[in-house]
Amino acid sequence: MTTQQSADDQLTLGEIIRRQRELAELSMRQVATMAGISNPYLSQIERGLRAPSEEVLRAIAESLNVSADLLRGDMPADGSAEVVQAIQSDPDLTSSQRRSLVEAYQALRQVTVKRRSGRRTR
How sure is the predictor about 120, in pLDDT bands with cuts at 50, 70 and 90?
A: low
Of 108 and 50, the structure prediction assigns the larger pLDDT to: 50
Assign a CATH topology to domain 3-120.
434 Repressor (Amino-terminal Domain) (1.10.260)
Beta strands in 15-117 (DSSP E): none
Q: Element (H or E) spanning 103, and its range? A: helix 95-120
pTM over 0.85: no
Cα first-last separation, the chain? 41
**What pLDDT is recorded for position 75?**
62
Question: Would you kindly state where each structural domain of the chain is located, as residue ranges?
Answer: 3-120
Of 28 and 20, the structure prediction assigns the larger pLDDT to: 28
pLDDT tens digit sequence for 48-98:
999 999 999 999 999 988 888 878 877 665 667 788 888 888 889 888 888
Residue type, 48: G
Distance (Å) of CA 41 to CA 3, 9, 120: 33, 25, 50
3-class secondary structure, 65: coil
